[in-house]
Structure 1
Amino acid sequence: MYLLGYDIGSSSVKVCLIEASSGKIIASDYSPKKEMKIIAENVGWAEQNPTDWWINLKLAHESVLNKSGINPEDIKAIGITWQMHGLILVDKDQNLLRPSIIWCDSRAVPFGEKALQSIGEKKCLSYLLNSPGNFTASKLAWVKENEPEIFEKIDKIMLPGDYIAMKLSGETGITIEGLSEGIFWDFKNNCISEDVLNYFGIPKSFFPEIVPTFGIQATVSVSAAAELGLKEGTPISYRAGDQPNNALSLNVFNPGEIASTAGTSGVVYGVLDQLDYDEKSRVNTFAHVNHTLEQTRLGVLLCINGTGILNSWLKNNFATSLSSYGDMNELASLSPIGSKGLSIIPFGNGAERVLENKEVDCSLNGINFNIHTKGDVLRAAQEGIVFSYEYGMNIMRNMGMNIQVIRAGNANMFLSSIFRQTLSSISNAVIELYDTDGAAGAARAAGLGVGFYANTNEAFSALEKIAIIEPEVDKKEQYQEAYNRWTNYLEKML
């Protein structure tokens, strides 16, 4: 018996096949090999054609089946994860009405800000747990005002994973997790928010049937089975946005457990068991994958835009003589903790929510031409990224989160020993590194959805822990001194 996971990203679509009994990855692949096109007709816009997701899913899917050599009839469940906050619109015949407005599109910011003031800041935060911001509801409001002829044709609105499930099954559905990431869910009344619908003028009929995150949501149709070489009736038994799913992939389900990523941007995602929010909306709160009406499980999401992109910028523009990130890490390791008094503020990738949407840019502070070297700059960059995580995690702690263990995939900046050790030591948390990804997590979750696994521990028993990093307690004072200096520079800029 096999389980299939689809991960619909903005760069590529990844497919992973897992052998259910052992939990081992049999084959995986992604498409395209170059990043998918993002359409940007105006500054701040970002759109993708959902048809491209489907085309690339089929290519990666075919590759995985060919690599594995299995009988597709032995695939017993499918799980889906996706880039969060995207907006897909279809008519009554399930035809796309326009390209998807994706997560990094910022055109709807004014709509969200106006909604926050009109509905009321306190009410938005206490019922929705977020400002409407630039999320899916605000994107739909933009369409209503700027493309009324399209708005009139809408039969259903969806998130990216819902669209893929529709292509697989011919049926539309949406989860509470998906509704919450779109800022459509009222957590106090446990229903689609009447306040949001009434304010934006969104008909309730636009929403598909609510389906459970885990459970048989739909089955593969005759036409999709023919396209993909799957068995008709194969269950689609799990779907969730990428950050809740990344946490799931690391077996993060319970209050106080933390997952983190550090790619182009960085995320710290923690689970909370009570309705709570940050009064300044510096972190976002969504329904976690195991949130139900009976059991409160919320994902508190801290996002740092200026993460790996800073390291990449330094490699391409500053450390051009070094051939790899490994070489950069080796040179940075020659610099001591605190980078000889050098501090880098890493926020050079646009407005940062953790700074209340202020743009402070990236800056290098405290440089001394007589003592500082290239290695000091490279270390200060990694320390600055870690310190931005710690700055945000303090907000999460103030919401009642006890951060003791951080789980992460062994990828991107977590490959750097400096990054890992600095994060562990300044946060006083143990870091556990695992060999997993979002598509593998979605496949394992599909096994939960059809009841093959009895519980989450059984579903994720095959997770391979690669390393454990513990705080350097004897050097805590050095890390703290460097962090205090960094925060002083940041506070001056703010």
Structure 2
Amino acid sequence: MYDKDLFLEKVKENNIYLGIELGSTRIKAIAIDNRAKIISNGIYEWKSKFENGYWTYDFDLLTKGLQSSFKNLKENIFKEYGYKISNFKAIGISAMMHGLLAFDKNMNLLTPFRTWRNTNTDKASLFLSELYEYNIPHRWSFAHFYEAILNKENFVKDVDYICTLSSYIHYLLTGKKVVGIGDASGIFPVDDSLNYNKDFLKKTNDLDEIKNLGIKLQDILPKVMVAGECAGKLTEKGAKLLDIDGDLKASINFCPPEGDAGTGMIATNTIRENTGNISIGTSIFSMIVLDHQLEKYYKEIDLVTTPDGKPVAMVHCNNGTADFDGWLNIFKEFALDLKIDFSEKGGIYSYLFNKALEAVDDECGFTIFNYLSGEPINKVLDGLPMIIRDKSNTPSLSKFILANLYSIMASIRIGQDILTEKENIQIKQMYAHGGVFKTKKVMQKIVASALNTNVSIYKSASEGGCWGMACLAMYMDKKDDYKSLDDFLEKFLFANQSKYTELADDKIIKSFDKFLNDYKKYLPIQRFADDNRI
């Protein structure tokens, strides 16, 4: 627990920063001091739903979740320190990237929020990628919007503004229609001008479908900003929206809102050239900061940026741990029904994760596709969870758990191979974050072996992007003291941070490669099921 007297000192100095992140399964608010030490946090659980052909969230939960996470933070601070917090030095908002929020001129939502999990934008993605000769993934905001135009959806004629979730929440609190460059790069391509690509904008605006709407694309997108800039102040209306108790003061500075990929790069200290990180949650993605542009474009590789605008090669897969979480809940339910106590084994999750390593010396016998949603990187647009079992292999719990963990890594490895084999990008070290790493060593060792590289985890990684967003708010305040964002991370945030590293294991490499070969062999079955589902 943070020291109470030190907390009161930070309050008096106004040296507390707030980060809020709207993730796929929870909304989290975190307060840190001016040394990036965590004071307290607040959490609100939520989840997406599949409705009318789209992955979405109840729109009223955006406000409720925002307010509830902040209220939970306030309550925790009062419980721990006996103080009702009402002010912060700076605030930052982060959220899951991509997807589509479309509004009319009065900022009324025109169609339910379409999240990054939606892959029903194939026509737009293919056409725009060929038009620009630049990969436009299915989940990007403009791909969603252009697909709606091609489908002649009624709402498109009234669109005055499209944005991501982080930029919308930022607008609610500040009144500013802006977005951080990392999140912007998942709306529409950006370039080294630190803005939307002008050549691509011109090609877009010359399309008949855009002309017929009477718009210029750049006029309906949020303004691009970079880390360190001030992106507005908390309005009186925004303060009342965030803090339903009415204690929060207005006029607090905001940094540019960012996507969860950008805040993950901050939390893992990977914004320098030739550094990389991997994030595993509902989705899974790896990020490699480039020191040069790729030789060609690949449909499997996104080109996005760091929060300060450096080019990044991103391998994004829609399906991370969500399907496996369902299986874990079944095992947990079974254990609870039998009143089995796993406390001596570190809890049931720790038991199951460690159980997986017992099967490394054997063949898994299972090939698992964890596709709760589509996986465009493997040419699967909708997806269907699927388990294939080798009938000649004796099944076991350890083999089943290991196959599930391998399944999480299979698609990301397929994309990563493009960078290593076709672009000769050598990945010597990766930094990881995500809840799946809470069981020490197991998933870290599997990731290292699947990617054949060293994988390190910083102590701060467990707090993830929310902590990273609070640190970006702090960087805006301290920018003049450092040469760059890299400098701020190296000399300040991570100067004394501990980390632990796992190396690739030869036995797991061999075991995973066998799983991956079977995975690739059976992909046509997954594609057939995807194309022919009843």
Q: Identify the TM-score tier after normalising by the shorter chain.
A: 0.7 to 0.9
Tell me the residue number matched to 2:418.
Answer: 395
Deviates more, 1:252-261 or 1:357-366: 357-366
Deviates more, 1:93-102 or 1:6-15: 93-102
Q: Does 1:415 align with 2:439?
A: yes
Tell me the residue number matched to 1:325.
Answer: 349
Paired residue secondary structure (1:282): coil
Deviates more, 1:161-170 or 1:419-428: 419-428
Cα deviation, residue 290, structure 1 = 1.8
> Match for 1:405 among 410, 418, 429?
429
> Match for 2:40 among 2, 27, 40?
27
CA–CA distance in structure 2, aligned partners of residues 166 and 96 of structure 1: 13
* Divergent runs of 4+, >6 A: none
User: 2:235 touches 2:250 (CA, 8 Å); kept in 1?
Assistant: yes
Paired residue secondary structure (1:217): coil
CA–CA distance in structure 1, aligned partners of residues 509 and 38 of structure 2: 41
> Match for 1:59 among 53, 63, 68?
68
Q: Does 1:375 align with 2:398?
A: yes
> Match for 2:155 among 123, 127, 150?
150
Deviates more, 1:214-223 or 1:255-264: 255-264
CA–CA distance in structure 1, aligned partners of residues 226 and 84 of structure 2: 28
CA–CA distance in structure 1, aligned partners of residues 77 and 95 of structure 2: 24
Cα deviation, residue 159, structure 1 = 1.3
> Match for 2:91 among 78, 97, 102?
78
User: 1:282 touches 1:356 (CA, 8 Å); kept in 2?
Assistant: no
CA–CA distance in structure 2, aligned partners of residues 299 and 345 of structure 1: 30
Query: Under a length normalisation based on structure 2, what TM-score does the superposition of the two structures give?
Result: 0.78
> Match for 1:271 among 281, 284, 289?
289
User: 2:91 touches 2:253 (CA, 8 Å); kept in 1?
Assistant: yes
- How do 1:40-119 residues align onto structure 2 when only pairs under 5 Å count? 40-41=51-52, 43=53, 45-69=54-78, 72=85, 74-117=87-130, 119=131
Q: Does 1:3 align with 2:17?
A: yes
Which structure has more strand as a fraction of its residues? 1
Deviation string, structure 1 residues 235-278 (Cα, Å, up to 9, x no partner):
11132111122122111111221211222332222211222276
Tell me the residue number matched to 1:221.
Answer: 235
CA–CA distance in structure 2, aligned partners of residues 25 and 430 of structure 1: 28
Cα deviation, residue 17, structure 1 = 0.6
Cα deviation, residue 444, structure 1 = 0.7
Tell me the residue number matched to 2:176.
Answer: 171
Deviation string, structure 1 residues 45-64 (Cα, Å, up to 9, x no partner):
12335443122212211221
| Structure 2 segments unaligned to the other structure (5+ residues) | 1-14, 337-347, 483-487, 524-534
Deviation string, structure 1 residues 165-184 (Cα, Å, up to 9, x no partner):
11111221234333320134
Cα deviation, residue 342, structure 1 = 3.2
- Amino acid in structure 1 at the alignment position of 2:138: G
Tell me the residue number matched to 1:191.
Answer: 197
User: 1:255 touches 1:271 (CA, 8 Å); kept in 2?
Assistant: yes
Tell me the residue number matched to 2:464.
Answer: 437
- How do 1:459-474 residues align onto structure 2 when only pairs under 5 Å count? 459-461=492-494, 464-465=497-498, 467-472=500-505
User: 1:272 touches 1:298 (CA, 8 Å); kept in 2?
Assistant: yes
User: 1:315 touches 1:322 (CA, 8 Å); kept in 2?
Assistant: no
Cα deviation, residue 106, structure 1 = 2.9
CA–CA distance in structure 2, aligned partners of residues 216 and 331 of structure 1: 49
Q: Give the % identical residues.
A: 17
- Amino acid in structure 2 at the alignment position of 1:48: Y
Deviates more, 1:208-217 or 1:140-149: 140-149
CA–CA distance in structure 2, aligned partners of residues 37 and 470 of structure 1: 35
Over 3 Å counting, the alpha-carbon distance change for 1:374 and 1:150 in structure 2 is: closer
CA–CA distance in structure 1, aligned partners of residues 24 and 428 of structure 2: 32
Tell me the residue number matched to 1:294.
Answer: none
CA–CA distance in structure 2, aligned partners of residues 97 and 320 of structure 1: 41
CA–CA distance in structure 2, aligned partners of residues 283 and 206 of structure 1: 26
Paired residue secondary structure (1:344): strand
